[in-house]
Structure 1
């Protein structure tokens, strides 16, 4: 019963960030009520030996709900406390920092977590970015472990693209307990005396504690291993370091992309096998020492009890060595729970073990619930434990030959891989929206190779390198050869492997898929396995209820608008970053959004003009989805348009149920000017939704300015506009006062980037809107702005209002 009640606790924490004011106000009432019901049930059980199912049911329901509410309140309080230290404004700052973590190297320089002492009453963590050549950090870093510095630079707050399905940077910063980024311009080393005089005596004292010294020494050890491998001649030193410590600083982008394509990126993270291999190796060595020199210890306590605490100590040491990553922490807590049940001589079921471990982890760090690693790690463990339970039920008294044992092991490995792949499919699609079809095969090869050969060799070489350097070097060399063999096999598989397969599915499709998988994995006889196909049909065939929604996407300093209608999917502009090869708005923002809406093809794409911030993401989108028709105000060969391209021009219109799409500009005779007047000749789109209130008429201006606005007023004197998507992101040279005064839109929207260098939307524009009492929404403060049309009513939804860490005051 306890494990079912604790699932309520986990579920409550999983809703961290959502606005559930009722639960926050009443959680303690439900907790008191559950305690009363439990007390009454316990009293009745004492009075009567007969078990009462109704009492058990009431206790289970009330306790689960109470812990659900308590879990949500606990998570919400932790979130509110962390949010008060988050930076939201870009500004120059002089920070006093302390370095207690090693840096992360990259091609652009290095990234360093630092404790900032002078921003708030308590230290907070910031990411420090130093833009220098990677080679300059080969042997030394400008920021030394255990040192204090005064650094000058600029605060760079985390700011997510608030788009459903896109990577949430602000959530990731919170989960990492990092309150801001900081661009470093100048560094000044501080002595302990200077730090003391600045008033940070308490922090200096804290660094002298045993725990602080131990953690600092662990970080120094991690750094020493990096430097040792960095100066070596091993071909695969980056991969060896990543598998040993989880530090990917030396890992090439090619290896990362290869592992991602083949669906084995999870192997680069430190997980349970790494920790257990290290602990088992040292515990085995200790066991041999005890057997030889102190066998009488086994007369005092059984062998498993004698070795339990050294084993837990080894697990703790390696978990600290790899930086307390979530999968490693899960292993530590699981080992501690198993150890406790061994000490009290009680059995524990595998599923209960996972629930207890997850519940404890969330008490220590509720923000781990925001990490994909938490869900994937516990999900994989659950499947493995289910397989273990199946094996445990097999008869143990039947002798097996070595051939039979080998066949059974291979069969078990294959079964575990396909079950993990299928069972974790919903989680992979939720977090990544794409899968590697070769993942079961590559995992089948890579997991045994790494677990049985590479990782033990890596750990053994690291342990011996400080005791017997020659032997350690030899083992590292053997490991390097083994990794070369593995990478050769993976390269062969990569050539045969298709590209990552993107899957488009709505939340309802995902729920249907999960129900189908639950039916598939239920014990035989519970439900017919064929019933699971019903759950798979929506995602396989693309069935979905498609409402009418107009989305102005948050794509930073750019514009992308998506209209989803039962008869039409229309994209007006695609957004695009300055350099799509370094950061692709298409791959990272727009395509994930479209996939989460269940989009598998686009009927119509209209590019208002071909500036990078309006069309830069188009090539990626064109590669990801089939597109029936593409239009813009000019043709350009570099855009790789296909036969479906045509020019947009005034007078074009398309009519669907309760929807009319019109092009108001440019005129046919002005298309020749588009190459030299790209902004002014933007395709201006007018959308009319019949019988919709309060927003019926939408005018989308592209980058058009005052000249086009004047022409529109002349050519369309009766033009009605409820929502105006401002021209040129709210530039002062667009949306003239007279234009706004005549149209009088109910709402104006500026699609602009956070802290953009142009100052969009401009102060001049904001003053015009304020003078006319026209509300202004920006994608900076609102995120993606969605207009949802339902039975004649229009609901306005702001993505930044959906979770608390995205909200702006």
Structure 2
């Protein structure tokens, strides 16, 4: 197959990213085979033929994954299953432990097991080791995560990993201990590192650089590397693998020179390339065989095969074939950001190498970092909605330090540590010391530099930015820099502000909790912050930054329940608020020193850009009420529309509101207490008279929100309901006159969310 054929096959699989629904793969495959036969006489049909065959291959695997998900009828039911531990255990939230298992058999009648698919489980800490077989009692659900602008897409990532269910472990019993495996060796290396990590936390970074095991890295260091734009260095990629392979091959070459009698039957020159490949594969397995590692191994294998057959390996042929082979082996890896970043970076380095440039080696290295930063900018914004503005400088410092000093020390410690324990630990200790100095420098750079820039561009802005950068970065004889300037216009004007009298509201998909963003033309308000630090950082802050909000005029925390204030500490740390309003003294958070603080009280009101905000509860009669009933209730009114945000109020607070004389009528009602049985009384609904209700709750949450009885009450009153469970983050645009535009982030975008 020619290079265009390999590229077309890979492009066909990549079309999965654009599909809202899966076509019938049999018809696609038949069309591809027909074109392939015709291409024997009409050569121009080969590219579309391989494109269709790649699409059919990808669709077949995608459909198989969707069919392997746990049936909805089995969600939440206790199941007993025998399962083998796959990979390394990792810390989870609230002191629990996360494991990935391969289900082997179950005693539950009628539950189909998903073959070679995995389940991701959390439970109380136990001695889970790779390869062990356990009898587990579990409660499962389908993969489900927050779907919100700029937020990490958990569902897509789990699909790329082949995980068809997530759940919790209720009981666990070891059935059979596993045999030696590479993962058990990786776990033993983690255990050797743990005393170092206690004394020197940066040793966790060293462990990640050695084996790809990130489980021991704390959130602060992950955030630091992300802010500096060097988190990609934590992935075991080409330089690490090749360094180890070359070291092994070099050691054997030295041995062949000193003891030629050992290589009399087969000269070292004849098998040095297979040794190089074998060493790379061994280290790739030790590193967990991640996508960047697999890309390196496939490319190296193609080069070795070409060298052994006496042919010169063409770099671009190797890249296209490696791309197609990795996707043939694991088609759903097309959904992993690491796949595109890994292959994209290699392609860009090859393009850079093909351009003649003048200057010293130092200037060329600096130029390469700036070139990679600009060229990878569209991919970073597409996948993460953010980019580090100090990344070129941080990478220029970190890459040489890690590649030349840290990784060799780590590999030396690994190779000598089993024969000379203290020498191995000393190597790892000094690697940790070097990483400490790097962390100090990165912290200084992120403090005094520009840091992260957040923006999730739309399709038009992203395409315009990509074309403009391609024109700017092309070789001088091909560059069209003047026309490229005009392509940046959609980027500059990509985020129009609301007009006066308009209001934009986003009910964020934070899981079992609540967070609502309200912004007028020149002011922004955040009502609650979601259930925990992860929601506060990855959903709330990401949305605010992506919307261009760099300062909150008001942060309103309805009450102290953690599903409403759990993300407050992260939000306060990430974005300043001019004023913090709460109904009870802060418990899980501390307002910033720059923020004015006040209690939420009935009667407070203010006007922003033609929109009136009014606090209608808590009033004096609720002074001694329970925390839920003291929730800060906010009424928002514009020309022709109104909204009521209710926190977690229950029937007593609703009755107090009915007797307060406040005008509670609202077109849109965010359901009290996530739609629990204790709220949304008939009298309250009659007083509010909403045209739309909005539920913010978590998928299959343990409280059963929204309660079936309450949903039926709204249905009987002919009040339609929107839900973050079904729709993800909900964006609304309210215009004067009462017109409402609605956008759902979950529905209609991708095939894995549109399948039942």
Alignment TM class, shorter chain as reference: 0.7 to 0.9
Report the secondary structure of 2:163's partner residue.
Answer: coil
Query: Is 1:117 the counterpart of 2:104 in the alignment?
Result: yes
- From 594, 603, 616, the equivalent of 1:665 is 616
Query: Is 1:223 the counterpart of 2:187 in the alignment?
Result: yes
- From 485, 488, 491, the equivalent of 2:440 is 491
Report the secondary structure of 2:632's partner residue.
Answer: coil
Query: Is 1:551 the counterpart of 2:506 in the alignment?
Result: yes
Judged with a 3 Å threshold, the aligned counterparts in structure 2 of structure 1 residues 544 and 224 are, in CA distance, closer, same or farther, namely: closer
Structure 2 Cα separation of the partners of residues 359 and 531 of structure 1: 34
1:501 aligns with 451
How many angstroms does 1:330 deviate by? 0.3
Judged with a 3 Å threshold, the aligned counterparts in structure 2 of structure 1 residues 172 and 219 are, in CA distance, closer, same or farther, namely: same
1:400 aligns with none
- From 529, 547, 550, the equivalent of 1:575 is 529
How many angstroms does 1:322 deviate by? 1.8
Equivalent residues of 2:507, 2:729 under 8 A apart:
yes
Structure 2 Cα separation of the partners of residues 707 and 486 of structure 1: 57
Structure 1 Cα separation of the partners of residues 454 and 217 of structure 2: 31
Report the secondary structure of 2:42's partner residue.
Answer: helix
- From 593, 599, 609, the equivalent of 2:543 is 593
Provide, for residues 416-448 of structure 1, a one-character-per-residue CA deviation record: whole Å limited to 9, x for no partner: 222223322333344444444443334323322
The within-5 A match list for 1:331-730 is 331-343=296-308, 346-390=311-355, 408-466=360-418, 469-470=419-420, 473-474=422-423, 476-498=425-447, 501-508=451-458, 509-529=461-481, 531-535=483-487, 544-546=495-497, 549-563=504-518, 567=521, 570-571=524-525, 573-577=527-531, 580=532, 583-602=533-552, 608=558, 612-618=562-568, 620-625=570-575, 638-640=590-592, 642-643=595-596, 650=603, 652=605, 654=607, 660-661=611-612, 663=614, 665-666=616-617, 670=620, 673=623, 679=629, 682-687=632-637, 690=640, 698-706=643-651, 709=654, 721-730=666-675
How many angstroms does 1:788 deviate by? 5.3
Structure 2 Cα separation of the partners of residues 792 and 663 of structure 1: 19
Structure 1 Cα separation of the partners of residues 97 and 647 of structure 2: 38
Provide, for residues 651-677 of structure 1, a one-character-per-residue CA deviation record: whole Å limited to 9, x for no partner: 947486xx854537249x749949877
1:13 aligns with 13
Structure 2 Cα separation of the partners of residues 465 and 639 of structure 1: 49
Report the secondary structure of 1:383's partner residue.
Answer: helix
The within-5 A match list for 1:240-319 is 240-251=206-217, 255-288=221-254, 292-293=260-261, 294=263, 303=269, 306-319=271-284
Report the secondary structure of 2:248's partner residue.
Answer: helix
2:294 aligns with 329
Report the secondary structure of 1:424's partner residue.
Answer: helix
Judged with a 3 Å threshold, the aligned counterparts in structure 2 of structure 1 residues 177 and 436 are, in CA distance, closer, same or farther, namely: same
Structure 1 Cα separation of the partners of residues 194 and 99 of structure 2: 18
Judged with a 3 Å threshold, the aligned counterparts in structure 2 of structure 1 residues 424 and 432 are, in CA distance, closer, same or farther, namely: same
2:144 aligns with 159
Judged with a 3 Å threshold, the aligned counterparts in structure 2 of structure 1 residues 21 and 789 are, in CA distance, closer, same or farther, namely: farther
Structure 2 Cα separation of the partners of residues 568 and 642 of structure 1: 18
5+ unaligned residues in a row in structure 2: which ranges? 107-111
Report the secondary structure of 2:120's partner residue.
Answer: strand
Judged with a 3 Å threshold, the aligned counterparts in structure 2 of structure 1 residues 463 and 698 are, in CA distance, closer, same or farther, namely: same
Provide, for residues 726-766 of structure 1, a one-character-per-residue CA deviation record: whole Å limited to 9, x for no partner: 12221223221244357664442221233444432234323
- From 89, 113, 119, the equivalent of 1:103 is 89
Provide, for residues 253-296 of structure 1, a one-character-per-residue CA deviation record: whole Å limited to 9, x for no partner: 66545544443332222111121122222223444556634578
Structure 2 Cα separation of the partners of residues 808 and 571 of structure 1: 35
Equivalent residues of 2:580, 2:591 under 8 A apart:
no
Judged with a 3 Å threshold, the aligned counterparts in structure 2 of structure 1 residues 793 and 456 are, in CA distance, closer, same or farther, namely: same
Query: Which protein shows a greater Rg?
Result: 1
1:175 aligns with 160
Structure 1 Cα separation of the partners of residues 341 and 746 of structure 2: 26
Judged with a 3 Å threshold, the aligned counterparts in structure 2 of structure 1 residues 662 and 261 are, in CA distance, closer, same or farther, namely: closer
Judged with a 3 Å threshold, the aligned counterparts in structure 2 of structure 1 residues 724 and 12 are, in CA distance, closer, same or farther, namely: farther
How many angstroms does 1:244 deviate by? 2.2
Provide, for residues 124-164 of structure 1, a one-character-per-residue CA deviation record: whole Å limited to 9, x for no partner: 423343434xxxxxxxx723444332234544665312222
Structure 2 Cα separation of the partners of residues 614 and 184 of structure 1: 27
Structure 1 Cα separation of the partners of residues 310 and 562 of structure 2: 67
How many angstroms does 1:483 deviate by? 4.1
Judged with a 3 Å threshold, the aligned counterparts in structure 2 of structure 1 residues 146 and 562 are, in CA distance, closer, same or farther, namely: closer
Query: Is 1:783 the counterpart of 2:728 in the alignment?
Result: yes
Give the alignment's Cα RMSD to 1 decimal: 4.3
Report the secondary structure of 2:39's partner residue.
Answer: helix
How many angstroms does 1:232 deviate by? 7.3
2:63 aligns with 77
Equivalent residues of 2:505, 2:732 under 8 A apart:
yes
Judged with a 3 Å threshold, the aligned counterparts in structure 2 of structure 1 residues 381 and 750 are, in CA distance, closer, same or farther, namely: same
Judged with a 3 Å threshold, the aligned counterparts in structure 2 of structure 1 residues 459 and 764 are, in CA distance, closer, same or farther, namely: same
Please give the TM-score of this superposition, normalised by the length of structure 2. 0.82
How many angstroms does 1:252 deviate by? 5.5
How many angstroms does 1:478 deviate by? 3.9
Equivalent residues of 1:327, 1:377 under 8 A apart:
yes
2:109 aligns with none
Structure 1 Cα separation of the partners of residues 32 and 296 of structure 2: 30
Equivalent residues of 1:271, 1:328 under 8 A apart:
yes
Report the secondary structure of 1:98's partner residue.
Answer: strand
Report the secondary structure of 1:118's partner residue.
Answer: strand
Query: Is 1:768 the counterpart of 2:709 in the alignment?
Result: no
Structure 2 Cα separation of the partners of residues 87 and 2 of structure 1: 48
How many angstroms does 1:514 deviate by? 2.4
Equivalent residues of 1:442, 1:490 under 8 A apart:
no
Equivalent residues of 1:604, 1:627 under 8 A apart:
yes
Structure 2 Cα separation of the partners of residues 29 and 699 of structure 1: 55
How many angstroms does 1:321 deviate by? 2.0
What count of residue pairs does the alignment treat as equivalent?
A: 731
Structure 2 Cα separation of the partners of residues 159 and 500 of structure 1: 34
5+ unaligned residues in a row in structure 1: which ranges? 43-55, 133-140, 193-206, 208-212, 395-406, 691-695
Equivalent residues of 2:650, 2:678 under 8 A apart:
yes
Provide, for residues 609-648 of structure 1, a one-character-per-residue CA deviation record: whole Å limited to 9, x for no partner: 5655445545544554465776666887954473597967
- From 42, 66, 72, the equivalent of 2:52 is 66
2:36 aligns with 35
The within-5 A match list for 1:740-759 is 740=685, 745-759=690-704
Judged with a 3 Å threshold, the aligned counterparts in structure 2 of structure 1 residues 93 and 376 are, in CA distance, closer, same or farther, namely: same
Judged with a 3 Å threshold, the aligned counterparts in structure 2 of structure 1 residues 426 and 186 are, in CA distance, closer, same or farther, namely: same
Judged with a 3 Å threshold, the aligned counterparts in structure 2 of structure 1 residues 747 and 29 are, in CA distance, closer, same or farther, namely: farther
Structure 2 Cα separation of the partners of residues 702 and 225 of structure 1: 48
Structure 1 Cα separation of the partners of residues 605 and 522 of structure 2: 16
Structure 1 Cα separation of the partners of residues 416 and 657 of structure 2: 78
Provide, for residues 86-139 of structure 1, a one-character-per-residue CA deviation record: whole Å limited to 9, x for no partner: 99833433221223534336793543322222243436423343434xxxxxxx
Judged with a 3 Å threshold, the aligned counterparts in structure 2 of structure 1 residues 709 and 378 are, in CA distance, closer, same or farther, namely: same
Query: Is 1:126 the counterpart of 2:119 in the alignment?
Result: yes
Query: Is 1:803 the counterpart of 2:756 in the alignment?
Result: no
The within-5 A match list for 1:734-745 is 734-740=679-685, 745=690
